[in-house]
Amino acid sequence: MTTAKWLIVGATCLTATTLAAQQPAATAPTQAPSTASAATASLTQKIPLDPQITTGQFANGLHYYIRKNKKPEQRAELRLVVNAGSILEERDQSGLAHFVEHMAFNGTKHFPKQETVKFLESIGMRFGPSVNAFTSFDETVYMLEVPTDKPDVLDKAFLILEDWAHNVSFDDTEIDKERGVITEEWRLRRGAGARMQDKQFPILFKGSRYAERLPIGDMEVVQSFKHERLKKFYEDWYRPELMAVVAVGDFDKAAIETLIKNHFETISKSPAAKLRPTYDVPKQPGTLYAIATDKEASGTSVAVYSKMPARDQSTIGGYRQQMVERLFAGMLSARFSEMAQKPDAPFLGAGAGRGQFVRPLEVSTLSAGVKEDGVERGLDALFTEALRVEKFGFTATELDRVKRNIMRGLEQAVTEKDNTPSSLSPTSTSATLPTRSRVPASSTKWACTPGSSRRLRWRR
Ligand SMILES: [Zn+2]
């Protein structure tokens, strides 16, 4: 058993933005573009939706997205994405967004009690790869992978999705049974990582509702809430205008569109408009830090997080900026890797990155895995190298190397596009929501754990 230290610093310097500003100003590509449209794309233009996606919105506000993809054959991935998560809970509902997700598998109008699970098992679906759900701060996503060769099975799969959208039963006995299931899930997750995270998140999210609404919630509330408070969360936030249905797979698009219409167009419009609030993570003066130790931690690491408001990345210019930042992080990470291979290196490994952490917050990170007594030296090395970059930049060779790697990956994706299996990452799913939200980092969402529930043993 080792004693580990984690340190998070919310710094205000060394952001990829300030460094990227040394790059040439955003202009149209100067090299011969591969297509005419790339040559004329304006940086303020919205990134167009894949033309192979059929999309629509019903009068009740629900959006849908359909894309045919031949691999794997006779399979489809279906999603119900709800633009609601733990951030919308009131204090006495802490943990109930996740609780609703559990109740979706404990009885709905057409699948009472455990019939949903029984049906899914009867068609050979396995929890984990075929059925899944997660709750995060800002959204809740339900996922099914189903065979497409039997129309009645496909129809029933959409009926399950529809029931989740507006027909969860909330049977009193089932609610009370589920309290123990969730508490057990929480207990099993109380590993070193979770315990240390508990000390980091309030610092990272300081001054924000995000610090007080972790998706797993408050176990005292989970044990004692009144049933009405759970039903209220469902009524308040499972609204068609906050939902999207997504289908990708080996099927006839028109037939799928008909199924989606049959199941979702008739859901009643929400009676009165209820604004879905958003919450910021405010800037804090100076540098914040958290130090957490745990005797069960498997290692020691140090990380610097530079917080900044999330930007709109739905435009060509936004995509270009992401690319610049990807190049930057790639070059800096490559330097760290080289340093880590030297004898007596200041860290075991290190990396740089930038991304959306929760909906309103982006973070630029520098992180290192270090020896138990190496936090200070590791931190020093991260800053020294980052400052070196700020002062002297990168060499053309470093840029070329990272560019080539990225280009190789992109070219491969294009070459393989007809053989790429249907895979709806949470990111791609939620990116289709009208809010264009991105699903947060894995640590900020709560996927159900295997063995934690008496019926649903899966995880993402
Ligand atoms: Zn769960």
In the residue annotation, 178 being an active-site residue is answered as yes
pLDDT at residue 126 in the model: 78
Q: Which two tokens stand for residue 428?
A: 């791609």
Residue 455 pLDDT level (bands cut at 50, 70, 90):
very low
- Note the pTM of the prediction, 2 decimals: 0.83
SS (H, E, C) 307-345: EEECCCCCEHHHHHHHHHHHHHHHHHHHHHHHHHCCCCC
C-alpha of residue 234 to centroid of ligand 1, in Å: 16
Answer yes or no: is pLDDT of 17 > 90.
Answer: no
Cβ atoms of residues 238 and 100 within 8 Å: yes
C-alpha of residue 143 to centroid of ligand 1, in Å: 14
C-alpha of residue 158 to centroid of ligand 1, in Å: 22
Answer yes or no: is pLDDT of 418 > 80.
Answer: no
* Amino acid at the residue 403: K
Question: Residues 251-296: pLDDT tens digits?
Answer: 999 999 999 999 999 999 998 878 999 999 998 889 999 998 888 8
* More confident site: 402 or 8: 402
Phi, psi of 349 (to 5 degrees): -170, 155
How many of the other CB atoms lie within 10 Å of CB of 3?
11
Among the ranges given (145-149, 226-230, 282-286, 379-383), the one the predictor scored with the smallest mean pLDDT: 282-286
Question: Residues 21-52: pLDDT tens digits?
Answer: 333 333 333 344 444 445 567 899 999 888 99
Question: Residues 173-226: pLDDT tens digits?
Answer: 999 999 999 999 888 877 888 888 878 888 999 999 999 999 989 999 999 999
C-alpha of residue 144 to centroid of ligand 1, in Å: 16
Residue in 145, 162, 178, 362 annotated catalytic: 178
C-alpha of residue 139 to centroid of ligand 1, in Å: 14
pLDDT over 90 for what percent of the chain? Answer: 63
C-alpha of residue 215 to centroid of ligand 1, in Å: 10
Looking only at the bridges linking them, the beta strands covering 4-11 and 75-82 are: unpaired
Answer yes or no: is pLDDT of 4 > 60.
Answer: no
Answer yes or no: is pLDDT of 445 > 50.
Answer: yes
pLDDT at residue 273 in the model: 73
Residue in 89, 101, 185, 385 annotated catalytic: 101
Note the CATH number of domain 4-28+281-419. Answer: 3.30.830
C-alpha of residue 98 to centroid of ligand 1, in Å: 6
CATH superfamily of 53-278+422-447: Metalloenzyme, LuxS/M16 peptidase-like (3.30.830.10)
Q: Which two tokens stand for residue 99?
A: 């609780």
pLDDT at residue 41 in the model: 77
Average pLDDT over residues 90-106: 97
Within this chain, domains 4-28+281-419 and 53-278+422-447 share the same CATH topology? yes
Question: Residues 44-66: pLDDT tens digits?
Answer: 999 988 899 999 999 999 999 99
Q: Any idea where the domains of the chain sit in the sequence?
A: 4-28+281-419, 53-278+422-447
In the residue annotation, 174 being an active-site residue is answered as no
Cβ atoms of residues 263 and 162 within 8 Å: yes
Sheet harboring 445-447: ordered strands across?
53-57, 63-68, 243-249, 75-82, 140-147, 131-136, 445-447
C-alpha of residue 305 to centroid of ligand 1, in Å: 28
pLDDT over 70 for what percent of the chain? Answer: 83
Tell me whether the omega of the peptide bond preceding residue 72 falls within 30 degrees of 0, making it cis: yes
pLDDT at residue 294 in the model: 86
Answer yes or no: is pLDDT of 444 > 90.
Answer: no
In this structure, the dihedral spanned by the alpha carbons of residues 320, 326, 332 and 338, taken in order and rounded to 10 degrees, is: -140
How far apart, in whole angstroms, are the C-alpha atoms of residue 3 and residue 1? 7
Instruction: Cite the DSSP H helix spans in 123-215.
Output: 151-166, 172-188, 192-204
CB neighbour list of residue 37: distance below 8 Å, 6 or more residues apart: none
Q: What letter does residue 296 receive in the DSSP assignment? A: T
DSSP string, 78-112: EEEEES--GGG--GGGTTHHHHHHHHTTS-BSSST
Among the ranges given (196-205, 237-246, 305-314), the one the predictor scored with the smallest mean pLDDT: 196-205
Average pLDDT over residues 6-24: 34
* More confident site: 70 or 175: 175
Question: Residues 110-141: pLDDT tens digits?
Answer: 999 989 989 998 988 877 778 889 999 999 99
C-alpha of residue 104 to centroid of ligand 1, in Å: 11
C-alpha of residue 224 to centroid of ligand 1, in Å: 17
Helix pair 316-340, 375-392: axis angle to 10 deg: 130
Q: How far is CA 407 from CA 16, 325, 355, 403, 412, in A?
A: 21, 15, 20, 6, 8
CB neighbour list of residue 40: distance below 8 Å, 6 or more residues apart: 28
Cβ atoms of residues 93 and 233 within 8 Å: yes
C-alpha of residue 446 to centroid of ligand 1, in Å: 7
